[in-house]
Amino acid sequence: MSTTTRSPIEAASNAVTGALREFGNLFAMGLDVVVAMFKRPFQIREFLQQFWFIASVSIMPAALVSIPFGAVITLQLGSLTAQIGADSFNGAASVLAVVQQASPIVTTLVVAGAGGSAICADLGSRTIREEIDAMMVLGVSPIQRLVVPRVLAAMAVAILLNGMVSVVGVCGGYFFNVVVQDGTPGAFLASFSALAQLPDLWVSEIKALIFGFLAGLVAAYRGLNPKGGPKGVGDVVNQSVVITFLLLFFVNLVVSVIYLQLIPAKGA
Amino acid sequence: MGVEVVVEGLSKSFGRQAIWRDVTLTLPSGEVSVLLGPSGTGKSVFLKCLIGLLKPEKGRVVINGVDLCSCPEKDMYEIRKLFGVLFQDGALFGSMSIYDNVAFPLREHTRKSEKEIHNIVMSKMDMVGMLGAEQKLPGEISGGMRKRAGLARALVLDPQIILCDEPDSGLDPVRTAYLSQLLIDLNAQIDATILIVTHNINVARTVPDNLGMLFRKELVMFGPREVLLTSEEPVVEQFLNGRRIGPIGMSEEKDSAQMAQEQAHLEAGHHDGSSEDMRGVVPQLEPTPGLPPRDAARRRRQRVMQILHTLPEPAQHGILASLSREDFDRYQDWRRRTAGMAMPTALPERPPSRPVSPQQAHQATRPIPPQQVQQAPATRPRLRPWRRDGGDQ
């Protein structure tokens, strides 16, 4: 039997099929969640509770992260643009970077880190206490009853938080550009309106929506499939955050590329 | 009336590790069945396969003509509404009070008003003796109470199939006895099919109509309770008596060297871990006086009498001994009318290894005097080396 001595190739192929299987299951559950979103009855109470919970744990960290994030981008770009003599465009560049890239990412890192990990731990402990089994046996779908409200709450929080993070980030950028780097407020605002356009804001919100969905989905998926008791719950919480981050940056790349292809830059 | 559950050739494994193979049994509608088995033989896994929480690799579980192993999710949720399941730890929702837990299925699946829900919940809480604890959270009550609350929740939709995963674990003997009585009373009232998974011998002896046992990845046997209770199978005998001597070891199985060593210890006067012989048919629990008689008991009697001649001889004695005088006469009539069929004693069954006195053998074919009706067949005198020792007596 090959149970004791497994060849490295076999082990590697097992790992690959295992990863693919997990990914497929995640995808299948994503479809289930989307379908269940349109099924009545909608769990409005659960949704509000979860929304409030995720918002309350995310707002402060998101705001606190976004200020230095906006500042760093502005300072970095400020010194670069000064070197090539384009100081007046500093405002536009930093605003676009904050709104399109930094804001959705920061939002979702916080939603996944603070809200997603809590969702994952909650569902994980319910699973090992057989509550999920009990719910299925009582003829109630945990996807519809528990997962859908959580995913929707994560999406809603991500969208709203994304707006706030954009504002705070831009304000932070403005403050550092004008106060610290001696930029002129007029040039900051003028370059902003010269290069930025409304679709930049839309894509930012669409990204936040997708990332919020992913954060909620991955947290719920990992939470519903813990391996081996209480320790397994700790493991899946850890994994859910890591998997969300990985997915996040990959999907961000894809969405950004598509956006840049589809929407021509202003003035181009 | 309860629903029949048919299990055909069910096999389940986790990865390369087979849990059990080719399990085939039928839970007759409305009857109480118990599935025994040493720890770790996959009894809970079996329950989860019955309700479709786990997908077995092979085989079918047919309920109301629907195969749970292959039907779409939508049908599965419909079929599951027939079930009431008592999980090992109650599986209550930790964030809800006991009251909300018990009311949960009603609120999800019915359009009853809160007042009706309140009445139903309170009657179920009363049934399991939990009145007064409605507003507590599951984390604030003892394990036994959680179990009873879990039972109340399982019963609230008047299920047609009740599955109990170790109803006795964590309960003291008195509460276990009450719970057994409760299940029998329920069966008399709503005629639900009940399957209890346990390793409590007392429950196995007194509660079920049918008894089965899982061991070594297989269903060792499943049939009328008398068959298993009188079985000469070493595994069954060891398990019923809770002895160390026999094929069951601390881990799943033991090898012949260890068996020989233990046998040597036993012969040298070492205690084998058991108290007295627990085999033999004891009277089954009856519904509490005042309740209707169990319809399932009547149906089972008919069913068993028709297959009686196919059962091992000790089981036949046990069944005949448990009949009332009237039923026994009816059975004799029926046998005479269907003459040509072999009489029980004439069957070439495997020779009884316990000594059957000629008088006993004779009893099977002749009406039993009423005072002997409830008497179980004599059990085999067992070796009690520590008594024979004589040195310390």
Tokens standing for residue B49: 């396969």
Same domain, B210 and B324: no
- Chain B contacts to A (CB-CB under 8 A): 16, 48, 51, 53, 77-78, 80-81, 83, 85, 87-89, 91-94, 104-105, 108-109, 150, 153
Q: Which of B77, B83, B91 sits opposite A131 (nearest CB)?
A: B91
Judged on CB neighbours under 10 Å (0-12, 13-18, 19+), B36 is: buried
Tens-digit pLDDT profile for residues B237-262: 888 888 777 778 776 667 777 878 88
Average pLDDT value over all residues in chain A = 86
3-state helix, strand, coil in chain A (%, to 5): 85, 0, 15
Chain B residues with CB under 8 Å of A135 CB are 93
* A138 contacts in chain B (CB < 8 Å): 80, 104-105, 108-109, 153
- Return d(Cα A165, Cα A103) in angstroms, integer: 6
Please give the ipTM for the structure prediction.
0.71
What CATH number does the domain containing B101 carry?
3.40.50.300
The per-residue pLDDT for A217 is 94
The predicted structure's pLDDT at residue A4: 54
B114-127 helix and B98-109 helix, angle to the nearest 10 degrees: 130
Q: For residue B362, what pLDDT is reported?
A: 44
Domain end: B177, B203, B225, which one? B225
With CA atoms as reference, report the closest residue to A149 among A122, A187, A176.
A122
Burial of A262: CB neighbours in 10 Å, binned 0-12, 13-18, 19+:
exposed
The model's confidence at residue A140, banded by pLDDT at 50, 70 and 90, is confident
d(C-alpha A222, C-alpha B188), whole Å: 44
- Interface with chain B: mutation pick from A3, A6, A35, A131, highest number of B CBs within 10 Å: A131
* A10 interfaces chain B, CB cutoff of 8 Å: no
DSSP H or E stretch at residue B19: strand B17-27
Contact B317, B362 (CB under 8 A): no
Residue where a domain terminates, one of B172, B205, B225: B225
A153: nearest Cα among A259, A36, A43: A43
The number of beta carbons lying within 10 Å of the beta carbon of residue B362 is 11
What percent of chain A stands above pLDDT 70?
A: 97
What is the spatial distance between Cα A74 and Cα A93, in angstroms, rounded to a whole number? 8
Q: How confident is the model at residue B118 (pLDDT cuts 50, 70, 90)?
A: very high
Compare B289 and A153 and report the one with higher pLDDT: A153
Q: Is residue B211 located within the same domain as residue B319?
A: no
Query: Which residue(s) pair with B221 in the sheet?
Result: B213
Based on the structure, what is the number of domains in chain B?
A: 2
Q: Is B96 helix (H, G, I), strand (E, B) or coil?
A: coil
Residue A157 has pLDDT above 90, yes or no: yes
pLDDT given at position A24: 92
* Domain ranges across chain A: 26-262
Min mean pLDDT across A227-231, A251-255, B323-327 is at: B323-327
The answer to whether A71 and A172 are in contact (CB under 8 A) is yes
Q: Would residue B255 count as lying in a domain?
A: no
Q: Least CB-CB distance to B109: which of A126, A139, A141?
A: A139
Q: A78-82, A245-249, B61-65: which has the minimum mean pLDDT?
A: A78-82
Using CB atoms and an 8 Å cut-off, which of residues 145-184 of chain A contact chain B? none
**Is the Cβ pair B91, A129 closer than 8 Å?**
yes
Q: What is the pLDDT of residue B357?
A: 45
Q: Report whether pLDDT(B365) > 80.
A: no
Q: How many angstroms separate the CA of residue B83 from the nearest CA in chain A?
A: 7
In this structure, are B38 and B166 located in the same domain? Answer: yes
pLDDT for A162: 92
Does B303 share its domain with B221? no
Model pLDDT, residue A120: 93
Residue pLDDT, tens place only, B66-111? 888 888 888 888 888 888 888 888 888 888 899 999 999 898 888 8
Tell me how far CA of residue A19 lies from CA of A13, A192, B372, in angstroms: 10, 44, 67
Q: Which residues of A5-25 are buried (b: 16+ CB within 10 A; e: fewer)?
A: eeeeeeeeeeeeeeeeeeeee
Among A125, A133, A140, select the one facing B87 at the smallest CB separation: A133
Strands B218-224 and B210-215: what pairing?
antiparallel
Q: Are B78 and A139 within 8 A, CB to CB?
A: yes
> Same structural domain for residues B173 and B313?
no
Range of the domain at B309: 295-372
Give the span between the Cα atoms of B330 and B326, in whole angstroms: 6
Q: Among the ranges A179-188, A190-199, B217-226, B242-251, which has the highest mean pLDDT value?
A: B217-226
Residue A219 has a pLDDT of 93
Residue position matching structure tokens 């009363």? B126
- Hey, what are A51's tokens? 């929304």
Q: Let me know: does B35 contact B195? Beta carbons within 8 Å.
A: yes
Judged by CB atoms closer than 8 Å, whether chains meet at B53 and A136 is answered as yes
For residues B163 and B303, state if they share a domain.
no
With a cut of 70, say whether residue A64 has pLDDT above it. yes
Q: Chain A residue closest to B83 (CA)? A: A137
Q: How confident is the model at residue A154 (pLDDT cuts 50, 70, 90)?
A: very high
- Least confident stretch, A1-10, A168-177, B112-121, B374-383: B374-383
Residue B383 resides in a domain: no
Rg of chain A in Å (alpha carbons):
22
